[in-house]
Chains A and B, each alone.
Chain A
């Protein structure tokens, strides 16, 4: 369907440091364009996706609900940075009285994706990478729900695929923060992904009440679509499928899932599509089962994008830019490597509350009473979560940082060429410092900041975990740490921890036990 762009922006148009290039997509609420950075700016990537939202006072669509939607999206991006959620770099407002259509438009500067799941599915239904992608999508939902938000509009068009083929969730116009068990979202939805209880739900003064289970339903629909190429509910049109959903929910019809669905996934989809919200599986156990069904982690199963989505990759202009971008993603507090936290620096209640939240960050997986420095908790937990392997846990990363450097960000060992909190060798770090999996164009020079070292460590551990032979004796996590100290090949050839590294591994094992909450392995 040819449709006019919600916000037409000419090629070459300048907003801030950005020059607009090709259009990417348009939706009911705004239009997205690629953009190129035209000025030096150490905090920003070379290219980005600009999302124009027509919020100006003179725009033809002077809509009050739009302003609310934009606010939702910006709030979520500002407050949540998670590895599986699209990242926002900046927001801008167009100031151009000469162009009434654009004047006052809000511009979100977003991480650029290579495409969306809906593009991938239309080019290649039932992609081989389907299970791996679903695991990543589910991880994104888990990160969102754990932070207390509901997405509200999960569908293929809102799953973005990055250059390395990994998936991230985007488009948070409908997202809402939970208040107790519910959140309130605007009264918009995509019928095929809307759970039956919301199809004709009552709408109050604050919008529609929605629970995380609505995202779980949408995930079930999405999983069925990705794995079988068809919607789980029968019907040739969205209206027919909506009626099928309501009669299924009323109990007058049974769920008949496609026979193509593999058995492990059949159970998962069935539990996502339970008739009532209360019967649906919750996100945490869902993620565990999805990861088990997907067998994620094997890099050969990482999604391969079809040719049409591949674009020539540009190498980063300078390593400095990469370092700064990584720092931006994790907030400034981790950069103050002097061991102080924000608490007390200005003494305000807000910063004390923030410090308290920081001190509890990821507490269910990393104990708070064992001396892991508070300013690194978020970095450690998020870096571990960026890896879908169950072995790469926050406790493992913390135990390794403790063993490597005793959390000393200024460690410098020129003799061994090892620097920083994770004792990275710069020539090796180069291969792991970029989160899109592309090696940096130049070897970084020390000092190596924690905001670069720790996420890179998470990525490298993830790789090691995937390349260790199966059946090696001992705790897999300790084997991973041995691989980090020496190499995967050494560990595989030795058939376990090489004798030279036994002391190191014993230390890691000791701190692993200390840092992992009881009950968790």
Chain B
């Protein structure tokens, strides 16, 4: 029932545990060892701040004495908000955000995802009475372009086509997204697994024939529930088609 995911700043050990917050749950961060998310860096306040999941979005409190935090939208072409020292409960509207903590010359990124953002469904009424699909995707986001690229061959009429490799996806997306890279595409695939609430891997699931690999599961789910349709493939052609809806 979580609605917000916090990804701690990278550390020397490679185990960035995602922290999942349900609506109403709070997570404090700072240098103090008792913090929900300890950030052991001398440049960070003991009690640096607090994140509270608020339904589908989240709010940020800046508890530091003199540092301003910047919350960036990594896909927003420079879109950001500033949360000044002492500001409490500032709402953050982005689906993905990066809180940049200035710390004695370093900039420490804390990522916060809000995968439950709702978007108007093509044919549903937004009043809670209508039967709504369980997936709400933003067709202007990069994760949607990645999903479309993964599904493309199957949507074009070859139901058993092998899935493209990550490198092929990068090449396919480069015209519309020049900065695309292996890492960014892989990041989007990981995010999609969270977004579409893919069941965790086979170790915890019931036996029986099942699809291997995240990509395969993503594509099968997306096609089965028409998350991506043939007319959505225009997102791959780049330029004007990425205009906001």
Using a CB–CB cutoff of 8 Å, the interface residues on chain A facing chain B are 1, 3, 6, 27-29, 63-65, 118, 153, 155, 157, 173-174, 186-192, 196-197, 199-205, 207-208, 237-243, 246-247, 249-250, 252
A205–B225 touching, CB < 8 Å: no
Residue contact A192 to B128, C-beta cutoff 8 Å: yes
Q: How far is the CB of B15 from the nearest CB of chain A, in Å?
A: 22
Q: A28-B130, A64-B226 are in contact. Are A246 and B199 (CB under 8 A)?
A: no
The closest CB in chain A to the CB of B133 belongs to A188
A153 contacts across to B, CB distance below 8 A: 131
Query: CB within 8 A of B134: which of A1, A64, A187, A249?
Result: A187
Contact B132 A188 (CB under 8 A): yes
Residue contact B1 to A197, C-beta cutoff 8 Å: yes
Interface size on B, as a range, is 35 or more
Residues of A within 8 A of B56 (CB): 239
Can you name the residue of chain B whose Cβ is closest to the Cβ of A204? B199
Known A28-B123, A28-B124, A202-B199: A243·B217 in contact at CB below 8 Å: no
CB contact between B23 and one of A174, A192, A246 (< 8 Å): that residue: A246
Rounded to whole angstroms, the CA-CA distance of A28 and B129 in the bound complex is 11
Is B140 part of the contact surface with A, judged by Cβ < 8 Å?
no
| B90: interface (CB < 8 Å) | no
Interface digits, B171-197 against A, CB 8 Å rule (1 contact, 0 not)? 000000000000000000000000011
Q: Are the C-beta atoms of A202 and B55 separated by less than 8 Å?
A: no
Per-residue CB contact flags for chain B residues 147-165 toward chain A (1 = under 8 Å, else 0) read 0000000000000000000
B211 at the binding interface (Cβ < 8 Å) = yes
**Residues 30-77 of B contacting A (Cβ, < 8 Å):** 55-56
In angstroms, Cα B122 to Cα A29, docked, is 12
- Nearest-neighbour CB distance to chain B for A178, whole angstroms, equals 15
Whether B1 pairs with A174 at a CB distance below 8 angstroms is no
B128 A241 Cβ-Cβ under 8 A: yes
Please tell me if the beta carbons of B131 and A28 are within 8 angstroms of each other in the complex: yes
- Chain B contacts for A29, CB-based, 8 A: 131
**What CA separation (Å) do A29 and B131 show in the bound complex?**
9
Q: When chains A and B are docked, how far (Å) is the Cα of A410 from the Cα of B98?
A: 82
Closest Cβ neighbor of A253 among chain B residues: B24
Q: Quick one: CB contact mask for B1-14 with A, threshold 8 Å, 1 for yes?
A: 11100000000000
Instruction: Return B44 CB to nearest CB of chain A, in Å.
Output: 29
Chain B residue contacts of A27, Cβ below 8 A: 130-131
Contact yes or no, B221 A203, CB < 8 A: yes
**B81 at the A/B interface (Cβ < 8 Å)?**
no
Taking a contact as CB atoms under 8 Å apart, the answer to whether B132 and A191 are in contact is yes
Do A199 and B1 contact each other (CB < 8 Å), given the known contacts A3-B125, A239-B55?
yes
Q: Is B239 an interface residue (CB 8 A)?
A: no
Cβ-defined contact, A188 with B131, below 8 A = yes
B139 within 8 A of A: no
Contacts of B211 in A (CB 8 A): 205
Q: Which residues of B contact A205 (CB under 8 A)?
A: 199, 210-211, 217, 220-221
Question: Is the C-beta of B110 less than 8 angstroms from some C-beta in chain A?
Answer: no
Residues of A within 8 A of B24 (CB): 243, 246-247, 250, 252
B198 at the interface (CB under 8 A from A): yes
Chain B neighbourhood of A199, CB < 8 A: 1
Does B118 touch A at the CB level, under 8 Å?
yes
Across the interface, do B129 and A190 meet the contact criterion of CB distance under 8 Å? yes
Closest to A200 in B: B1
Contacts known (A65-B226, A202-B198); A250 close to B131, Cβ less than 8 A: no
Does chain A have a CB within 8 A of B116?
Answer: yes
Query: Which residue of A155, A200, A242 is within 8 Å of B197 (Cβ)?
Result: A200
- CA A190 – CA B23 in complex, angstroms? 20
Contact A190 B131 (CB under 8 A): yes
Instruction: Indicate if the CB atoms of A246 and B22 lie closer than 8 Å.
Output: yes
Given A187-B225, A190-B132, A252-B24, CB of A246 within 8 Å of CB of B197: no
